[in-house]
Structure 1
Amino acid sequence: MSQNSAQSTATESCAGVAKVADRVKDILLCEDMSDIRFAVGRDHGAVKIFPAHRVIIGLRSVVFHTMFYGSLPDMCTDLLDIPDIHPEAFANMLSYIYTDAVTNFTQDNVFDTLKCADKYDLPLLLTMCTDFVLGTLNLNNCLHVLDNAVHYAGVAPSILEKCLCLIDESPKSIWQSDQFCAIGQEALRTILKRDTLTANEHTICSAVDKWAEITCMRRDMDGTSANRREVLGEVLFLVGFPLLSDGQLLDGPVKTGLLLQSELLDIYHYKHAAIKPPLPFRKEPRQNVRGECVINYTVPDVRKLQAIFTLSNPVTARKLFWHIHVGKETEANVGFYLVCSSYPKSASWACEVNAELRLLPWNTETAPIKKQISHLFGKNGACWGYGFGNFISMENLLDPTKGYIDPSDFSLKLQIQVTVSPFRLETNECSETRT
C-alpha cells in the first residue's frame, strides 16, 4: 500500500465505522498520526526511514515501551537510528507489530528478522521466523542455514539441531559441494564436533582440506600449508586423522601438506606402535548411528487426504529409514503412523521404539495433540508401522475454531519424536503399547 493510498484509507475509516484492528493495519508505514521515525540499516549500506506510532509498537514490545515510556527517556527522540538491523527485517517486524502477520519472509531476510525479534523481545515473531526456516529446510539449503543458525543457537536452538540432524545423515555429495566450502569456521566447528555423522572420516578429512583451500582463496591468501592451517585453527584437531588408513593419509593430508611432519610421525606411531604417543586429533570413531530423530511433515491440504496413505521423506535413526504415514483411515478419521521402510541385513532382528506423535496446530494458542507409542519393530512385515487409525476426526480437524489447520491453505503440521533402541536378534514377535 502506498503512503497516499494508506492516508486515504485512514481518512475514510475515520469518517465511517472501522474495527480497531483494521484501523491499525491502515496506518502501517503511513505518516498519518505517526510520532516517531526510524532510520534503519546504516550498517547494511543504505538507510531507510520508517514512520511509526509509539503507542502501538510500545504495546507490542517491552523494549520499545521502555525506550518511549520507561527508564530510557534520552532514547525518546523524533528520529531513532537503528544501524544494525536490515531494513527488510525491520519492515517484517513492523508488519508483525501492526498486523500479526509477515508476508515477506525470504531465505535472505528471515535470520535478520529473527535477530530483530530477539533484540526487541518479540517471542511470537521469533517463533514465526523459526517455523519459516524449519518449513523450508532441506538438504539443499541446510549448510547455508547452519551458517546463520550457529549464531542464534541461544534463541532458536531447534533450527540448529534440525540442520545438524540433516547433516548427520547427508550423502557424500553434500561434503563435496560448494556450499560446504562456503560455510564459516564456527559452522565447520559445530559439524565436526558431532559424534553422529554418518560420513566416514576420509570424506570428512577431504572436505575439511578443500574448505581450507577455498577459504584461503576467499581471503586472498596463498593456499600454503601454513595458511590452510591458519584458517582452520583448532578446528583441525576435530578431524580423526588417526582413523585414516595409511593409503588415505598418503593420498590426503601427506600429499596436500595439511599436517606437519612431526604430526604425521606421531600418527603413524599411534597406529602401529605398542606404546602410543598422545595426539591432539580425534582418535575415537564416530558412532555413525544415532538413536533419536525428529520427523516433520506438512500435509499440503487435508481436504485432499485419501484412503491411500502418503509418506514423508525419510529420517535416519539406527541406520533405518523412518517416515510419517498419514491418510484417511475412514471418511471420518485421520490415521497417523510411524513407519520403518528399511531393514538391517540380519535375518532376525528387533528394536524397541518409543515415539511421541504430535499434531502441531497452526494457531499457537491451541495446545498440540500428543500421543505416545511403544512398539517392538521387527523384520516381520506386520511390524513395519504403528500408530493410530483414529488419531483425530476430520470434523475436529476442519473445525476453524480449533486452530489445527492453516486457514489459508488447509495445511497440517505433523511431527514424530522417535527413540530407537539398539538392535537385538530374536524371533521378530511384535508387542506394543500406546496412549
Structure 2
Amino acid sequence: MSNPFHSAYLRGSFGSFAADMRKMINAPEMSDVKFIVGEEQKVVYAHRCILAYRCEAFRTMFAQRVLSRDAKEAEVPFVLSDVQPDVFLAVVEFLYTNCVMLSRDIALDVLTSAVEYGLDELQRMCVDYINSTLTVESACEALQAAVTYRQTNMKDKCLAFIEGHTKSIVKTRGFHELSDLALLAILQSDMLTIDEPDLINFVREWAHVNSMDKIAEVWKFHALKKPSGIAAHLPRRRKGTRLREHHKYLNFYHK
C-alpha cells in the first residue's frame, strides 16, 4: 500500500525568484566584496557566498585572501582591469539569476569571461546568441573566438555564414586580423563564394599584417584540396571558382 504522506519536491515561480535575485546585483546593501572593474575603475558590489558557490574560480579567488590571514587585505577590493564593466556585470547577472542579457557589443567578451571562469552553461548561452546574430562585420571575429575556445558548433556556423558572404567578408577588418589557424579554417572550405584570383589578393593583404610563416602551407592545402570518396584522386574546385587553363598545371602530388 502506498504511503499517502510521501515527500514531494515542489518548484515555485522561477521568474519571481530571478527578479528578486536581480535586485541584489551590484547592490551595496549587505554586500561583502567589491571589485574595481575595467579602465573606468567602476566599483561593482557583490556577495561572496553566491559567487563562490556558483563559480569555482571565485571560490579560489576568495580562498586565497582568507589564507593570507591579513584582515586589512580581506577588505581590499579585487581589481579586474582587463574586463569591461558591462561584461563583468553580465557574468554576475548569470551567477545570480542563471539568466543573462546579451548584445552584439559584449557577447564575444562575455564568452571569453565564461571560458576563463569555467562557466559552461554561460558559454552555451553566448554561443547560441552569437550564432543567431552573425553579420558580415562580426563573422570573422566570431570565427576567431570559436577557433581559440574550441567551440565546434560556433565554428561550423561561422564558416557556413562566411561561405555565403565571402566577397563581403574578405574586405572586413576582422578578416585581416584573423590568426593563421582561423584563416586555415576558411581556406579549407571548398564552398567559398569568391573567385580564386580575388581570394589570393585578399590573402596577400592579410599577409601584410600577419606572419608569413604559414601562408604558403595553408594556401597549398587550399589549392590542392581533394574530395573524399571514389574520385579522391581528382582535384575539385571550390564553389565560386571559375575553371581556368592554368589549373591543369597544378602539381597535385606536390608535398
How big is the shift at 1:162?
1.6
- The 2-side partners of 1:288 and 1:197 are apart by 12
Whether 1:185 aligns to 2:182 is no
How big is the shift at 1:132?
0.9
* Inter-CA distance 30–115: structure 2 relative to 1 (3 Å threshold): same
- Greater strand fraction, Structure 1 or Structure 2: 1
Letter in 2 for 1:160: K
2:25 aligned partner: 28
Whether 1:66 aligns to 2:5 is no
1:129 to 123, 126, 129: 126
- Is the contact made by 1:38 and 1:80 (CA closer than 8 Å) also made in structure 2? yes
Whether 1:196 aligns to 2:135 is no
* Inter-CA distance 186–108: structure 2 relative to 1 (3 Å threshold): farther
How big is the shift at 1:234?
1.8
* Normalised TM-score (structure 2): 0.68
Q: For each residue in 1:219-275, what CA deviation from the matched residue of structure 2 results, as whole angstroms up to 9, or x when unmatched?
A: xxxxxxxxxxxx3322321354xxxxxxxxxxxxxxxxxxxxxxxxxxxxxxxxxxx
Question: Rg bigger for which structure?
Answer: 1
2:115 aligned partner: 118
Q: What are the ranges of 5 or more consecutive residues in structure 1 without an aligned counterpart? A: 1-18, 216-230, 241-280, 290-317, 320-435
- Greater helix fraction, Structure 1 or Structure 2: 2
1:166 to 143, 146, 161: 161
2:225 to 286, 299, 302: 286
Q: CA RMSD in A?
A: 3.3
1:54 aligned partner: 48
User: Matched residue pairs, number?
Assistant: 211
Q: What are the ranges of 5 or more consecutive residues in structure 2 without an aligned counterpart? A: 1-15, 229-237, 240-255
Letter in 1 for 2:169: I
- Is the contact made by 1:180 and 1:211 (CA closer than 8 Å) also made in structure 2? no
- Is the contact made by 1:39 and 1:80 (CA closer than 8 Å) also made in structure 2? yes
1:94 aligned partner: 92
Whether 1:236 aligns to 2:215 is yes
- The 1-side partners of 2:119 and 2:166 are apart by 37
Letter in 1 for 2:134: L
How big is the shift at 1:61?
1.0
- The 2-side partners of 1:188 and 1:124 are apart by 25
- Is the contact made by 1:192 and 1:239 (CA closer than 8 Å) also made in structure 2? no
Q: Percent identity?
A: 25
- Is the contact made by 1:204 and 1:239 (CA closer than 8 Å) also made in structure 2? no
SS in 2 for 1:233: coil
- The 1-side partners of 2:141 and 2:199 are apart by 18
How big is the shift at 1:133?
0.3
How big is the shift at 1:67?
3.0
Q: For each residue in 1:334-353, what CA deviation from the matched residue of structure 2 results, as whole angstroms up to 9, or x when unmatched?
A: xxxxxxxxxxxxxxxxxxxx
- The 2-side partners of 1:174 and 1:21 are apart by 40
Query: Which consecutive segments of 4 or more residues in structure 1 shift more than 6 A?
Result: none
Letter in 2 for 1:93: V
2:139 aligned partner: 142
- Is the contact made by 1:67 and 1:73 (CA closer than 8 Å) also made in structure 2? no
How big is the shift at 1:36?
0.4
How big is the shift at 1:287?
4.8
